[in-house]
Amino acid sequence: MDFFDVVKNRKSVREYSDRKIGKALIEKIIDSGRVAATARNEQPWEFIATSDKEVMKKICSMCPNAPFIKDASHLLAVFSKDTKYYLEDCSAATQNILLAIEALGLAGCWIAGDKKDYAETVGNIFNVPRGYMLASMISVGYPKKPQEPKVKRPLKEVLHSGKW
């Protein structure tokens, strides 16, 4: 798929089929996050992937805006050391992951992590070492049904420029 088509077609999907994703695809997705842009090349992130339904249900119960976690094939979590630009770095990694999910014909949804009241508990569930913070989570699976991306504001409405 063409890169620009991937970017324009990326969408948040919250309904998943029962079909499972293999380890090789999950590793490919995470690897896309691993190579994201990062301030000062700090690469402060650590990634966790789980398909454990009990763990996913437990996390789902803490996230009122993400009841779909339990239905996904996998839940990915992006944790970070506390660095100056951890949120920017991990957001770049999360976006790369979402683009990889789209490029592979899968479905995913970004779930907030940073500053959420469940962030520390999620870290404890995954036995993340002290000093790491939950930046984001991403549900991933095969879509239950085809879905179109939401309409975005047109370029001429959002691009403001001086002289070219």
Q: What's the pLDDT at 28?
A: 98
**Distance (Å, whole) CA 59 – CA 71:** 12
pLDDT in tens, 108-117: 999 999 889 9
> Looking at domain 3-129, does it have CATH number 3.30.70.640?
no
Q: Write the pLDDT tens digit of every residue in 2-45.
A: 999 999 999 999 999 999 999 999 999 999 999 999 999 999 99
Q: What is the pTM of this model?
A: 0.95
Distance linking the first and last C-alpha atoms of the chain: 31
Read off the pLDDT of residues 45-65 as tens digits, 9 standing for 90 and up: 999 999 999 999 999 999 999
Enter the tokens of residue 145.
Answer: 């049904």
Domain extents in the chain: 3-129
Residue 164 reports pLDDT greater than 70? no
